[in-house]
């Protein structure tokens, strides 16, 4: 089983593109706009939240290193 990332209800049904390497993982919408970036979580972590309260409708944000 892999790691699940929560992006928020605003992205339900949308095509999301994911780029990753050994250190980071980045999420982009279908237009190439960055949604969010994370450091690659350690294994066996199976869930990464969006740092918003449950039920929060996410807006497009970007965390850049």
Task: Report residue 9: phi and psi, to 5°.
Answer: -60, -25
Is residue 42 scored above 50 in pLDDT?
yes
pLDDT at 38: 84
Quick check: 19 and 34 in contact, CB under 8 A? no
Q: Per the confidence metrics, is the pTM higher than 0.85?
A: no
Residue 13's pLDDT band (cuts 50, 70, 90): very high
Q: Give the integer Cα–Cα distance in Å for 12 and 10.
A: 6
pLDDT of residue 28: 96
Does residue 63 carry a pLDDT above 80? no
Output the six-digit token pair for 40. 């690659």
């Amino acid at each position: 089983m892999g790691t699940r990332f929560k992006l928020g209800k605003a992205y339900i049904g949308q095509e999301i593109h994911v780029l990753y390497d050994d250190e980071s993982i980045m999420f982009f919408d279908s237009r190439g706009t960055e949604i969010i970036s994370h450091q690659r979580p350690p294994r066996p972590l199976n869930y990464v939240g969006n740092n918003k309260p449950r039920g929060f409708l996410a807006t497009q944000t970007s965390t850049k290193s």
